[in-house]
Amino acid sequence: MTFKNISFSIIFFLLTLPTLFAQGTMSDQENEFYNITTLPIPDDIVLEVGGMAFMPDDRLAVATRRGEIWLINNPYMKGGKLPEFKRFASGLHEPLGLAYHNNALYTTQRAELTKIIDTNQDDLGDKFQTIYSWPLSGNYHEYSYGPLFLPNGDMLVTLNLAWVGYGASLVKWRGWMLKITEDGKMTPIATGLRSPAGFNFDADGNVFYAENQGDWIGSGRITHLEKGDFAGNPAGLRWTGEPLSPLDLKPNQIPDSVGLMYEFAKEVPSLKIPTVWFPHTIVGISTSAILTDTTGGKFGPFEGQMLVGDQGHSKIMRVALEKVNGEYQGVCFPFKEGFSSGILRFAWGTDGSLFVGMTSRGWASTGKEMYGLQKLSWTGKTPFEIKTMKAMPDGFELEFTEPVQKAVAEDVNAYQMTSFTYSYHRTYGSPIIQQQDCPITAAMVSADRKKVRLHVDGLRGGYIHEIKANGVRSAKGKALLHPVGYYTLNNIPGGGVNENVIASNNQSTEKDTEASCGWDASKRTTEMPTDWKGKADVVINIGTEPGLKYSVKNFEVPAGARVQLTFNNNDDMLHNLVITKPGTIEEVSTASMQMGLDGPQRGYIPKSDNIMFHTCILQPETSESIYFVAPEEDEYTYVCTFPGHAQVMRGVMKVIPSNAKTASR
């Protein structure tokens, strides 16, 4: 057996080198506190991680999308020894979860929940017991996840919707979370799920599930699920007439364009609003694994907080929850980026390190490997971070991991706050809407200098409140490692949303809520110029292929030609097409990753002179034509600047001499 004996963080470093100049090596900065180790995987094993579970003997069991289960001995690489891989099972149908319970491994295949027992203890599973099976339509998007064991030994599984140009529940119980007992009794728990790849407990044993942006889902989020909940995507409501259904809400009770989910939930009690939103592209693009820090401090200062993985951005976010007016809500922060592939699964090692299982087949990620297994360990150094953010009747309380410099922290100019939300509608995703600034009126530092109490004007219930604390310094003079957080303010302590808050809307500056594209309209001409007299010299059509690819990777146009370029987004995620000046692709890519809230507002078009022409960000199954005159002879890279796509989704427009015959496509 040969090993891919390559340190992954090094590869990532090299790949992202251009971005590092601008960002100051965020992954490297983070490495001082949390560092990534890559587990070498033998070349003949395709470890596309679908599920992970530690065994009592400290071996790590990994289920793969190709249907195998591997037992990995010494995943910690103790004594400088390589991990050893042993195949425990094979032939499963895309298992996307794994749990160890009472001497057996449990996994969810596409069609069933399966218990796998090694009856003769030879490290080969020999009894594959179907605990419970469900129908399938045959659609590839009907992924099934789990199980998660409840304390009483019952199990939870979640069932992805099919994709038929939109999310659909073609057979029972797609779009649901189900509870299943060891002896195969099934109870539907909750619906409204679209792509529920990750779900787990918080520190109190409540169940949260992670959802991805999609139709009806404005942005990524986690939601506290309880029996009878409807989490937002109406496809699964098709089955609420079934005898076992714990709710009776019907799909036709959800209009195509609802408006604000938070307001609608007041009329529809079973609608469960998200606990924490992860603003799309700003804090990840596809939430996946959830795991609460239960290491008792072995993983650092965030005991009891929740880690949420992101498949598309190959990174991890951190969540602090609190209960306000009887309901959970909280804040998410960036935590660690730079993983090698798309993060799908987490597991705690006994040494308090976090094992991260990854795959990016069919769903590309910023980490370029097709699959991988890495370990994130606390170095023992505590980063200067906002540890928690709590809602107060008239603002927030920030708690830091280290004491702050009082004078700086009491200056309101050290902070910025803005609030916004997303539309709740049939359409795929949502722009950021109703954004408005929230002036900070006072900041008071606690006696131990670890907390800052912010008084904020214009708090709005149901909105996401962005805090930027760039000005805060630790007592030792350090800046915050991640000075930004996003608090989902569903409830304001002391009696919910008060009228004063609503009224205060008028005092704040309401920003333009209509999403526009880019910064310079002349770079996006979507009507044919009249002086072209209805005829373009060259017409280029570009679609997409699965896995973040343009269908046309290069084309030629003569200099000065009138070009009509149509970009057809036939993928199931958002894309745009941006033509850049020669040699500036890395700068543009980097800039697109750093747009923050401007991203969704500006169609993810960074403000840059290096951008020549661009389309807007396009919904799945939409297209847009732009018109421009081909520039001088050279090679111009075009790229999708939707965050996370720019490293792979590229093509080249070659401008050839104007007298040459066009050989486009």
Within 529-558, the residues that bind another protein by CB under 8 A are 536, 538-539, 541-543, 546-547, 551
Query: How is residue 444 written in tokens?
Result: 């008071």
Query: How is residue 180 written in tokens?
Result: 């299943």
Q: For the beta carbon of residue 568, count every other beta carbon within 10 angstroms.
A: 18
Beta bridge partners of 392: 395
3-state SS, one letter per residue, for 34-93:
EEEEECCCECCCCCCEEEEEECCCCCEEEEECCCCEEEEECCCCHHHCCCEEEEEECCCC
162 binds another protein per the rule CB under 8 A: yes
State how far the Cα of 485 lies from the Cα of 463, in Å rounded to an integer: 13
CA gyration radius for the chain? Answer: 25
- Which of 45, 55, 111, 648 is in the footprint of another protein by CB under 8 A? 111
Residue closer to another protein by CB (options 30, 112) is 112
135 binds another protein per the rule CB under 8 A: yes
In total, the chain counts a number of residues equal to 665
139 binds another protein per the rule CB under 8 A: yes
Within 314-333, the residues that bind another protein by CB under 8 A are none
SS3 17: helix
- Which of 25, 206, 434, 622 is in the footprint of another protein by CB under 8 A? 622
Q: Which stretch binds another protein (CB under 8 A): 86-94, 147-155, 384-392, 482-490?
A: 86-94
Give me the least distance between CB of 264 and another protein, in Å please.
Answer: 24
Q: For the beta carbon of residue 419, count every other beta carbon within 10 angstroms.
A: 22
566 binds another protein per the rule CB under 8 A: yes
Within 489-508, the residues that bind another protein by CB under 8 A are none
Give me the least distance between CB of 497 and another protein, in Å please.
Answer: 35
133 binds another protein per the rule CB under 8 A: yes
Cβ atoms of 74 and 86 within 8 Å: the answer is no
625 binds another protein per the rule CB under 8 A: yes
Residue closer to another protein by CB (options 370, 652) is 370
443 binds another protein per the rule CB under 8 A: no
- Which of 66, 224, 272, 375 is in the footprint of another protein by CB under 8 A? 66
State how far the Cα of 128 lies from the Cα of 118, in Å rounded to an integer: 9
109 binds another protein per the rule CB under 8 A: yes
The region that residue 56 occupies, defined by phi over 0 for left and psi between -120 and 50 for alpha, beta otherwise, is alpha
Q: Which of 331, 336, 342 is nearest to 277 (CA)?
A: 331
How many binding residues for another protein (CB under 8 A)?
62
Q: Quote helix, strand, coil % in the chain, to nearest 5.
A: 10, 40, 50
Residue closer to another protein by CB (options 264, 363) is 363
Residue closer to another protein by CB (options 293, 571) is 571
Residue closer to another protein by CB (options 125, 330) is 125
Residue closer to another protein by CB (options 396, 550) is 550
Instruction: Tell me which residue has tokens 């040699």.
Output: 583
- Which of 200, 223, 374, 568 is in the footprint of another protein by CB under 8 A? 568
Beta bridge partners of 418: 437, 466
288 binds another protein per the rule CB under 8 A: no
Residue closer to another protein by CB (options 361, 511) is 361
CA-CA-CA-CA dihedral for 495, 499, 504, 506, to nearest 10: 150
**Could you tell me whether strands 84-89 and 98-101 are parallel, antiparallel, or unpaired per DSSP bridges?**
unpaired
Before 620, cis peptide (omega within 30)?
no
23 binds another protein per the rule CB under 8 A: no
Calculate the CA 456 to chain-centre distance: 28
Residue closer to another protein by CB (options 136, 392) is 136
Give me the least distance between CB of 360 and another protein, in Å please.
Answer: 11
For 22, 312, 547, the CA distances from 590, given in Å and listed in that order, are: 7, 16, 20
526 binds another protein per the rule CB under 8 A: yes
Q: Which stretch binds another protein (CB under 8 A): 248-256, 268-276, 325-333, 565-573?
A: 565-573
Q: Where does this chain bind another protein (CB under 8 A)? A: 65-67, 90-94, 109-112, 114-115, 124-130, 133, 135-140, 162, 164-166, 168, 170, 172, 184, 361-363, 526-527, 536, 538-539, 541-543, 546-547, 551, 564, 566, 568, 570, 616, 618-619, 621-625
